[in-house]
Amino acid sequence: MPALLIFFLLLIGLPLVELYVLIEIGSRIGAGLTILLAIATAILGAGLMRMQGLQALARVRAAMDRGEPPALEMLDGMLLLIGGGVLLFPGFITDAFGFLLLVPPFRRLLIRHWLRHMLVHAVHPGPGPGPRRSEHGGRTLDGESRRLDE
């Protein structure tokens, strides 16, 4: 399914499903309690995101201090930001997804899955320019180089 179609379906379908769930919950526990619960999840999510975001920033700084690229820490921080942002939307489905993104093992699982997916596409790129296999079985990259220390 094309990405644009998926985006369009989410843009239209998700708010409708959220509205339905909010109405159903509101009819069972009352409108006031439903609104209070939606506000409480946003406040709790913002607090958790702030706490974990500061920890993620500390991990980025520590990786940089060790001279390592903080790629995994940055991906973790990006997922934290997405999770916190989703928690600001009213609705229990988006709240559930946002809280899932605030769970460190779930974020690590998503990052591993995404990296594995990206690695497969990097090793087996589609047609067009890019790395080629040489007759010795290794990859050949075309490019130019020059020494900067001379």
- Domain ranges for the chain, please list them: 17-120
Judged by DSSP in three states, 140 sits in: strand
The pLDDT, as a whole number, for residue 123 is 57
Judged by DSSP in three states, 110 sits in: helix
What is the rounded CA–CA span in Å between residue 15 and residue 90? Answer: 9
**81 and 53 in contact (C-beta within 8 Å)?**
yes
80-100 pLDDT tens trace: 989 988 888 888 999 999 999
Residues of the chain falling short of pLDDT 50: none
- Cα dist from 145 to 30, 130, 131, whole Å: 68, 17, 17
**41 and 18 in contact (C-beta within 8 Å)?**
no
What is the rounded CA–CA span in Å between residue 40 and residue 45? Answer: 8
Residue with tokens 């690695």: 119
* 71: number of Cβ within 10 Å: 12
pTM (predicted TM-score) = 0.67
